[in-house]
A and B are shown apart, each in its own frame.
Chain A
């Protein structure tokens, strides 16, 4: 047994150690399981810990190594998966009473690819119900606490995945991102999170929220690990007709080449009311810009007037309408929680009203409203046209810029239980992230440090669609200047920090 503290290792370090026989996959697994059992009862980042399956996976990796075969890019790396991504034989609840006992019969393509690369599935992470929320407080299984400070929310909807990576429960977790659900919790928990380009990663086996916006992506503490996970995830898939079939570049090899920002054109988003953004987050952008200039990049400000004015309204109509359609199958008969009724209609209504939580019910209602006669013509169709204008606005931007830098969220993580009204700041809260989903572009929430009080700060980087490799290269250079985020210190057995 090695004396190394495995919890602090990156995925790359874990795999290198296993391949070089410094330690085994089972030793690594045992260490992470022990850490989770000691601390997660206080954080609630994990809904299902699949220890038996993890032991079987780790044993398989050790056997492959013993036979001298190639164990894969992520050999022996423990990973966790958001609980809306299907896992064979392991409950996939979507954080909902509706699916609290549902066990899929197959792995999603994302999970299958990770396991084929030698990664060891530890279990499933907490999330806002059906990915609808940005705090992980709408989960049927209770809220996830932020490991950087347990009085803060973890963000959402992939709050469990981000909290788990920050707490050192795994070096890699998978999340899904419909309007910022990977990037915002990653920002709040002080780790890196990436939403790949739409069409880059298969969505087969992902319980969808809004099909035209959803993407699966990695949450890590190192950009090098993120690039490796992208190598594993980004593949054509005949089971997903929206997953592009072109040959992908190697993202991790890109990171190994000579990295430079010289001559890169970097656009800084402006045009919004900066008084609505926390000072520390504006300072984080300034710090990042300074690094880019020192590295030889050309930096300039840009405005996105159409996106700024219309994106959030457009996003809400598209996402909620999509959701009302996607969630129609949970009727207590074909799928999900069942309650008896006097007739079919009453059975549906009782099952859906009890099975879904309040936020999900409200989004279904709003989405259905926008798909009814009159509202469809007046709002839904115009929203799809406005979305086209937003896509074109981004295409024009990327004629003159390689990357766009903006905040991820206008605020640092809030304390738990703060109910936010629909005001200016809540509008911006979604704006910075949802524009990337509307435009289908890759976007990365990069941790750039912590305030003196230990609160994470971050910036968002967005590149043109399918320039995921460029995005990771630029993030690598910035990370080299700033350093990677550390594992959160969980001070006592009570998890208090």
Chain B
């Protein structure tokens, strides 16, 4: 293991806990994995947090957050409606379409009936 400040993990302000990580999985819309993979992610985050704790050595109170500077801002496009003639080719790429619409799985009704997410015929 390589630590830049030789710091002590006990002194970390915020470690990632199992409960918090379960919340993060939910926020990320990713299923909870096997216990082994869960532990692997937990270790990765805490290793990274440990590495990041070095930044606490710096006095950042007078430092601005980073922003890109540009020589010359891009010219904006004119706000003029354009005729878009690619609807048919766009719809051709849809997994399922009907008329001028994409068809997507019917979720709201399924939440009530708890049946599977099939495309309603």
Contacts and interface: CB of A to CB of B under 8 A. Distances in A.
Given A344-B111, A422-B1, A310 B54 contact: yes
B70 interface: yes
A324 B77 CA distance: 29
B40 to A, nearest CB: 8
Contacts of B115: 342
A361 B30 contact: yes
A328 B90 CA distance: 22
Interface residues of B, number: 61
Contacts of A241: 73-74
Given A105-B93, A313-B51, A386-B58, 19 more contacts: A243-B74, A244-B72, A245-B71, A245-B75, A310-B55, A333-B105, A338-B105, A340-B116, A342-B114, A347-B117, A349-B29, A361-B33, A364-B28, A365-B41, A369-B16, A372-B27, A374-B14, A388-B66, A422-B2
B60 A386 contact: yes
A483 interface: no
B48 A372 contact: no
Contacts of A309: 4, 54
30 contacts: A105-B89, A198-B68, A236-B74, A236-B75, A237-B74, A238-B74, A238-B76, A242-B68, A244-B74, A245-B70, A310-B54, A310-B58, A312-B51, A316-B48, A340-B118, A342-B110, A342-B114, A347-B105, A348-B29, A352-B28, A364-B30, A365-B45, A366-B44, A374-B14, A382-B58, A384-B65, A385-B58, A385-B66, A388-B64, A389-B58
A366 B45 contact: yes
Contacts of B44: 362, 366, 422
Nearest to B25: A365
Interface string A362-381: 10111011001011001101
A436 to B, nearest CB: 14
Nearest to A347: B117
Which of A237, A338, A368 has the most C-beta atoms of chain B within 10 angstroms of its own C-beta?
A: A368
Given A342-B114, A440-B68, A389 B75 contact: no
Contacts of A361: 30, 33
Contact of A238 (B13, B63, B66, B77): B77
A356 B37 CA distance: 14
Which of B54, B74, B95 has the most C-beta atoms of chain A within 10 angstroms of its own C-beta?
A: B74
B110 A244 contact: no
A379 B54 contact: no
A5 interface: no
B110 A343 contact: yes
A466 B44 CA distance: 36
A244 to B, nearest CB: 5
Contacts, number: 175
Interface string A176-188: 0000000000000
A148 interface: no
B102 to A, nearest CB: 10
A423 interface: yes
A368 B27 CA distance: 8
A424 interface: yes
Contacts of A454: none
Interface in B101-121: 104-105, 107-108, 110-111, 114-118
Interface string A314-333: 10110000001000100101
B63 A427 contact: no
B24 A369 contact: yes
Nearest to B95: A338
Interface string B1-41: 11010000000011010001101110111110100010011
A386 B55 contact: yes
Contacts of A349: 29-31
A105 B56 CA distance: 47
A240 interface: yes
B37 to A, nearest CB: 7
A212 B70 CA distance: 13
| Leading 6 A-B pairs by shortest Cβ distance | A340-B117, A424-B2, A387-B66, A353-B31, A384-B65, A348-B29
A97 interface: no
Nearest to A240: B74
Nearest to B114: A342
